[in-house]
Amino acid sequence: MNRGGRGRAGGFVAPGMVALVTDAADAPQPEFRSDVTVELVRASASDSDVLFAARVSTQGEQTLEAAAAGTEASARDRGLINYLMRDRHGSPFEHNSMTFYVQAPIFVFREFMRHRIASYNEESGRYRELRPVFYVPARERNLNQVGKPGAYEFLPGTDEQHALVEVATRDSATFAFAAYQRMLEAGVAREVARIVLPLNIYSSMYVTMNARSLMNFLSLRTKVEGTHFPSFPQREIEMCAEKMEAFWRELMPLTHAAFNANGRVSP
């Protein structure tokens, strides 16, 4: 089988493609990762935020002192939070904010931005030269998709499938980045040169959302036993969701517990 050859810079050359001539010593070398990065940059979020927002409906200005003081929620407040979650009184869960920094492949960001319940700012391939960091699935990542839409199951791949994914991903990313560098060196605008880059190149962004929006995101982007509405997320965005949930669980433990106890349905 013709698998292509190597250009003078050592880059992969696909059959029928022209080799890209670059100075290998100066060109940045592709890096490959199998993980994602999620950091909590800042947060104003606690269980007590839910309480004053809910109690204003019956106590009005009497809630101001507790709201300003940021009094911690106690075990006795668990019942109110669970009631709000169970009966889907959702607005009290919106009076908080969390900002995350995320590094992940671009195809993950395209799924993130299907959620129009958050604020996003992503690094720009128009304004900066993109770094050669690419995603390659880890060995434990399931590769076989079986079932029908809405009820998929993902099963482990064979050794041959994992080898194919590894080699094909690395080779195509290396070739694409060499093409990108070639165009930049020729003076082609970054916004044009980037069109050859694959979806597994890493990007970074800030994403800000409140707890109600995060619960909606988690309900769709995690697969957890006992949820009322099963979801079948792509593993790579689920990796981001799991890290975001871990930060949120520390910030709002009573709210997180109520979310799980009521089937992981956003109120």
- Domain extents for the chain? 1-31+137-200, 39-100+205-223+237-261
3-state secondary structure 180-198: HHHHHHCCCCHHHHHHHCC
What is the residue-averaged pLDDT of the chain? 89
pLDDT tier for residue 25 given thresholds of 50, 70 and 90? low
Predicted local distance difference test score (pLDDT) of residue 8: 33
Predicted local distance difference test score (pLDDT) of residue 1: 37
Lowest-confidence segment of 61-75, 86-100, 144-158, 213-227 by average pLDDT = 61-75
Instruction: For residues 194-205, give the mean pLDDT.
Output: 98
The CATH number of 39-100+205-223+237-261 is: 3.30.1360.170
**Active-site residue among 116, 221, 249, 264?**
221
Instruction: For residues 35-63, give the mean pLDDT.
Output: 92
Separation CA 121–CA 207 (nearest Å):
7
Separation CA 108–CA 121 (nearest Å):
14
pLDDT tier for residue 99 given thresholds of 50, 70 and 90? very high
Separation CA 113–CA 214 (nearest Å):
13
pLDDT tier for residue 72 given thresholds of 50, 70 and 90? confident
| 221 assigned to active site | yes
Nearest to 244 by CA among 41, 92, 49, 50: 41
Are the C-beta atoms of 31 and 134 separated by less than 8 Å?
yes
